[in-house]
Structure 1
């Protein structure tokens, strides 16, 4: 199973369309996960044309998205439980807030966004994954998104690219 993981697209403010590099992976994925800060509901409908979409809301998302999506999700993919949250809030770091959101859940992977900083690490047996942003790299060297390959294990990787066209 190929899962494309994105976050912090902030469309149409930061981009009028999804980058071609990302569109290539959307074309053959089985599932799309968006970890919040979509900005408008149009992107949700666009992504659904490629594959089923599971997403959460972030701090930049308005009432229309909040009426459609939750702020936290736990989904089963293969034999694994994946937690998704944006990670915004007060106190702690974004990563610690994301981990705290699933303290009472038995998850194999935690996906979060908010910081626009790509992260891939393992803590206490769980993959901690922030895909970065494919449209708003902020102070990062490159734009990015993620791919989860789910089989006997979960393999997480970042796709980095320089041009968001």
Structure 2
């Protein structure tokens, strides 16, 4: 058995875009689990993802207030296909990230995070995989808006793919 994952973060709706791109909504419909690593900004996206996804794992970010802060944890932990995931919005500066997060999430196989809007895929010396999907709506200084997909199967993460979205019209 395998589980299809969609990883997103830093959607900042409706500040950065009115809605998620159509490609991301298609990925939501194809995914078995949608992971959102914070900075939703508008609770309507949380409501819609809860309605449209099969399973949603989300955390709050530094720009999430009110109902988002009340409904979402700072850290979410879930096991999928034998893989121990943790989801958090912020991990601090890039320098030393693998070592800091390995110490903080020693009981985790994959850490999904956001905040920087910079796609990230590294594995620490302890084996912790760190994934940041970037942002599907706010590329900041990156060349593209992005999101990640992956497949969890037999205790391992497969087919981790960074998707680059076309520029918005």
> Could you state the TM-score of these two structures normalised by the residue count of structure 2?
0.88
Question: Measured at CA, do residues 97 and 122 of structure 1 come closer, stay the same or move farther in structure 2, by a change above 3 Å?
Answer: closer
Counterpart in 2 of 1:136?
A: 138
Question: Measured at CA, do residues 117 and 24 of structure 1 come closer, stay the same or move farther in structure 2, by a change above 3 Å?
Answer: same
- Cα RMSD over matched residues? 2.1
Tell me, in whole angstroms, the C-alpha distance in 1 between the residues paired with 2:133 and 2:56: 16
Select the residue among 56, 61, 68 that pairs with 2:59. Answer: 56
Deviations 1:132-151 (A, max 9, x none): 00000001001101112100
Tell me, in whole angstroms, the C-alpha distance in 1 between the residues paired with 2:131 and 2:139: 16
Tell me, in whole angstroms, the C-alpha distance in 2 between the residues paired with 1:26 and 1:141: 23
Q: Shift in Å at residue 100 of structure 1?
A: 3.3
Runs of 5+ unmatched residues, structure 1: none
Tell me, in whole angstroms, the C-alpha distance in 2 between the residues paired with 1:121 and 1:147: 15
Runs of 5+ unmatched residues, structure 2: none
SS in 1 for 2:162: strand
The alignment status of 1:4 with 2:2, answered yes or no, reads no
Counterpart in 2 of 1:74?
A: 77
Counterpart in 2 of 1:65?
A: 68
Report how many residues are paired.
163
> Could you state the TM-score of these two structures normalised by the residue count of structure 1?
0.90
Counterpart in 1 of 2:97?
A: 96
Q: Which runs of 4+ in 1 moved over 6 A?
A: none
Select the residue among 84, 87, 92 that pairs with 1:84. Answer: 87
SS in 1 for 2:26: helix
Tell me, in whole angstroms, the C-alpha distance in 1 between the residues paired with 2:131 and 2:45: 22
